[in-house]
Amino acid sequence: MNSRKELFITGFGLFSLFFGAGNLLLPPLLGYNAGEKWLWVAVGFMITAVVIPIIGILAHAKLQGTLYDFGKKVSPQFSLIYCVLVYIISIAIPSPRTAAATHEIAIHPTFGTSPLLTSAIYFALVLVFVLNRSKILSFIGKFLTPLIVIMLLMVIGIGLFSSEMTTSAAQFETPIVSGILEGYQTFDAIGAVVVGAVVIISVNFRNKGNFEEKRSLIAKSGWIAGLGLFVIYAGLISVGAYYGSEIIINSELSSDMQRANLLRGISIDALGSFGNTVLSILLALACFTTAVGIVAGTADYFKGLLGNSQLVYIMTAIISCVFGVIVGQLDFHSIIVIAYPVLLFIYPITIVLIILNILPKRFATPLVFRAVVLITFIFSIPDVLGQVSPSDGLSNVTPYIPFAKHQLGWVLPAIVTCLGVGLLSKNNKAV
């Protein structure tokens, strides 16, 4: 295959594996709530929804392994537990969420079917794609991604050019922090370490080049996907900020501020009755590609964990899809609410593992890995407890932790630990 053609197919496929339903529905409402401060919110959102995920793909290009390789420097036991947790979370939250979004926006309004029927058909199709995993990235990159991008740019472009370019007052006190935390809900950092492995396997299947050629291909495809995510996310946030207030004021959607209804209102207002059809197809495709990536990545991991057995791959894919059907009965908003405390726990650890794996080996030693992950875990506990039980939590402790009131209490301790342990280890070696 032509190297340039393969690069763009891989990059487009990676973009679609990242860009799921939640990623489409989150930015417009975020922009609407940000109002005049939408640009600051966008900056925060890009950090956790674009920058960190692309660093994750660059780390995958460097390691060319599995998710297990991200945590093995901490310890084999930790990495095993971390991997199992990430994959369970992936098939329990973001994968079923794609089915719920597809049902609520693309299927139920038109056909009036039950969530059970929608999710059953949906995950049956996901299973078909996953069992033909060698063709996943190529098909998505060649056909699905261009269609998704064209539709998104159509909604964003027409929405911006037809709006009055006025914004409402901001509803966020700290817009950058709000953007960072909302970026958690995209699952893109987790997606980077999960679907990155899918990319590596697909590249290895199609490309028999040497290690450096594959690393270059994966890294460049990550930058292409990152550029696409940046343009689309920024566009959707700005559309929500500049056009959202008109939709809420001028339409019947004013009584319901759910994410899906805002985006539907923008699509219909910008594209007419055709907009609802465009949105339905767009959401279904975006949901589907993400679900395929998650299930394939999960099946790949357990296949490698249990003797490289194809039977394990098939059984894991089937179990993941069945689980998706069950959890997919919940509505989209309920899954968002359930996901938040889980993300406050797993996202910080994922972020520090991504960053540590991209650092030079001479600095990011096993000792640095262990210390940073341990400190990140400890300082994430108040954030999680404060979300699960706001009246209890660790209210006596959080006032003394920088940024803890913004649910980012782990950031400064992790940075200090990384620099401190890294410099001490370097000095000891020098002595």
| Confidence band, pLDDT 50/70/90 cuts, at residue 280 | confident
Q: Does the pLDDT value for residue 97 go beyond 80? A: yes
pLDDT at 138: 64
| Confidence band, pLDDT 50/70/90 cuts, at residue 190 | confident
Q: Does the pLDDT value for residue 60 go beyond 70? A: yes
Most confident of 57-61, 255-259, 320-324, 401-405: 320-324
Per-residue model confidence as pLDDT tens digits over 320-337: 999 999 998 888 778 888
pLDDT at 249: 46
d(CA 387, CA 155) in angstroms, rounded, equals: 35
CA proximity to 266, closest of 100, 102, 151:
151
Per-residue model confidence as pLDDT tens digits over 67-93: 888 999 999 999 999 999 999 998 988
CA dihedral 341, 236, 231, 188 (to 10 degrees): 20
Q: Does the pLDDT value for residue 243 go beyond 80? A: no
- CB distance 291 to 198 below 8 Å: no
pLDDT at 186: 85
More confident of the two residues 181 and 25: 181
**Two tokens at 344?**
């406050």
Strand (E) or helix (H) holding 366:
helix 366-388
d(CA 348, CA 345) in angstroms, rounded, equals: 7
- CB distance 38 to 171 below 8 Å: no
Angle between helices 188-206 and 274-305 (to 10 degrees): 70
**Two tokens at 415?**
């940075």
- Specify burial of residue 281 (Cβ count, 10 A radius: 0-12, 13-18, 19+): middle
d(CA 162, CA 8) in angstroms, rounded, equals: 32
pLDDT at 407: 85
More confident of the two residues 324 and 111: 324
Q: Token match 């038109």: residue?
A: 110
Least confident stretch, 36-40, 131-135, 154-158, 408-412:
131-135
Where does the chain hold its CATH 1.20.1740.10 domain(s)?
3-344
Least confident stretch, 12-21, 79-88, 283-292:
12-21
Per-residue model confidence as pLDDT tens digits over 380-409: 988 888 776 665 556 677 777 888 888 889
d(CA 411, CA 229) in angstroms, rounded, equals: 24
- CB distance 60 to 197 below 8 Å: yes
pLDDT at 399: 76
Rg (alpha carbons) of the chain, rounded to whole number: 21
Least confident stretch, 79-93, 247-261, 267-281:
247-261
pTM of the model: 0.85
Q: Does the pLDDT value for residue 123 go beyond 50? A: yes
Q: Does the pLDDT value for residue 259 go beyond 70? A: no
Amino acid identity, residue 162? Answer: S
Amino acid identity, residue 42? Answer: A
pLDDT at 352: 95
pLDDT at 22: 54
pLDDT at 240: 86
Question: 3-344 in CATH: which number?
Answer: 1.20.1740.10
- CB distance 35 to 236 below 8 Å: no
